[in-house]
Amino acid sequence: MWNVGSKALLCAWSIVFLTMLHAPVRAAQIEFRPELLERLAGLRSIYPSQGPASILGNESPITTLENDVDQVRTAADPAGSTVIEITGIIDKGDAAKLERLLRTPKFLAGIVFDSPGGNFLEGFAIAEKIRYVLESQDPNVGGVYVLNGGKCLSACAIAFALSVDLVHEANDGRYIETGAQLGFHVGFLPGEKAEQVGRVGDVLNLSYDIAAAFNKLLIGGANPPRLLREALKHRSANSFYMLRGGLNSWNMGFSPVAKGLLSRPVYGYGLDHDLAARLCNAYMLAGRAFKSGVDLEYGLFFPGREVSGVLLMEVAESEGSGVLSTGSAHGIFSCQIQIRKDKKVRIALWRGETGCAAGPVNPRGKGWCAGKPRVSKPVRLGLLADTLGCSNGRYVKGTEFQKYKRPGSIKREVNMRSAPTLDGEVLERLQPSLNVEIVNCSVKPDSQGVWFKIKTDNRTGWVSARFVFEKYNGPGLPID
């Protein structure tokens, strides 16, 4: 091995920020792409919107149902809007190119990234240019995107992750479309440079400089510490901690989006205590709000098996309110389910008391009571599918404790059908408490949303997942 002095080793600092590529690729192209406006406008959030302040889990403000609207960033005037796209290898000088385009008088509906990486230092510089605009008095950027079929790796991922507004109390604007690739790793020394030998002090200094640079990911709560921990595990050109716009991306603080099935609204038909509690648990466990060890061990929402199958719409009718609140087991978190006049379901989660004046009036409520409406977010089919172990339509096996099976029982009388649709032939009328095994699942654009293929003692067929009580609360959420 070649022994190098401290000066040569420290020169490696610039090299460590270059991603090695195995084939020639074109330099970065940074240009206006107004034809992407229509595509961005068709995307909708899959999970409740969050922001850097969501880590506090602050009490959700009281509002009115009329004023509580979805905040979707769209171009109000498409003719006066455009999109910037960054493609190719990121290199020195690209931040300056982007800055010139950011001066456009038009509203930037989005900045789309599609890059395999490049110079890490320039990735940090690009993020600084975008943040400057986002945090200004008159921000004119709707957000940053990685679209389905595209990828944003290495230095690009750094630029994307740090393009966050830490000044305004705004929802996160870093959108990952389902099927995109956002990949993180740390800077590395290529080839022969990694074999060089230097003084221990110089090597430590280089390591400290790398750690200091990557620590920017955590400033102001822009990203959770776990993102840095995961990135540190990947130290070569082809090794990445990859996010693809699913629940894990949301857990990391980003905003997964989709067009179509996964972004469809969830309706209140067949929504019972059990499923409502599971939705609240999914929001708490996968959302950005900080959870202590006590919260994770004792703070879940448990409705009780005896009220599984009791519909929230029935409780809402008896309470005279479609706004129902409940508290977690140890009373730290509260959750609210809202069933609107159009039967669409919304959810709110906060640290603090439920705010119910007199507790549950209806004994069948089992902890749910009419509450004052909080600022809430729509429940989308993507969150429901993850909650029910059918992420993106893929069946999730049970845990090792369950021997990888998913046992359950029927909550209420329900038709077993030949196909996962309300139009499927009725094979049998199943009765409450019948033991079943869940063997497959499907996500559909109907009032039920998620269907289970179940096996009884003598038959196999499909039922709405809302009518199946899963033992052990199902297979768990698909987060690392």
Structure tokens belonging to residue 277: 């509690």
What is the model's pLDDT at position 13?
43
d(CA 46, CA 259): 9
d(CA 65, CA 187): 48
d(CA 448, CA 268): 9
CB atoms within 10 A of CB 478: 17
Residue showing tokens 């063997």: 439
What is the model's pLDDT at position 296?
83
What H or E segment, with its residue span, contains residue 204? Answer: helix 200-214
CA dihedral 192, 195, 196, 197 (to 10 degrees): 180
Alpha helix (H) residue ranges in 300-344: 312-319
**Would you say domain 29-259 falls under CATH 3.90.226.10?**
yes
Structure tokens belonging to residue 365: 């409520």
User: 355-368, pLDDT tens digit by residue?
Assistant: 876 554 443 445 78
Which has the closest alpha carbon to 238: 165, 181, 177? 181
CA-based angle 343:288:339, to the nearest 5? 10
Q: Which residues contact 414 (CB under 8 A, 6 or more apart)?
A: 429, 430, 463, 464, 467
Question: Could you tell me if 375 and 47 are in contact, meaning their C-beta atoms sit under 8 angstroms apart?
Answer: no
What is the model's pLDDT at position 23?
42
Q: How far apart are the first and last CA of the chain?
A: 39
DSSP annotation of 192 reads: G
What is the model's pLDDT at position 196?
63
Q: β-strands 174-177, 255-258: how paired?
A: parallel
Question: Could you tell me if 338 and 345 are in contact, meaning their C-beta atoms sit under 8 angstroms apart?
Answer: yes
Residue 66, helix vs strand vs coil: coil
What is the model's pLDDT at position 268?
95
What is the model's pLDDT at position 230?
94
What is the model's pLDDT at position 320?
82
User: 26-46, pLDDT tens digit by residue?
Assistant: 688 999 999 999 999 999 999
d(CA 452, CA 270): 14
Q: In what order do the strands lie in the sheet with 435-443?
A: 426-430, 414-417, 460-464, 450-455, 435-443, 407-410, 468-470
What is the model's pLDDT at position 144?
97
d(CA 279, CA 443): 16
What is the model's pLDDT at position 400?
81
Which has the closest alpha carbon to 161: 148, 147, 173, 171? 173
**Per-domain residue ranges for the chain?**
29-259, 273-383, 389-470
What is the model's pLDDT at position 8?
46
**Would you say domain 389-470 falls under CATH 2.30.30.170?**
yes
What is the model's pLDDT at position 362?
40
d(CA 371, CA 326): 9
What H or E segment, with its residue span, contains residue 442? Answer: strand 435-443
Structure tokens belonging to residue 119: 């110079």
Structure tokens belonging to residue 222: 């822009």
| Residue ranges, the chain, pLDDT below 50 | 1-24, 71-72, 74-76, 360-365
d(CA 111, CA 28): 14
What is the model's pLDDT at position 198?
64
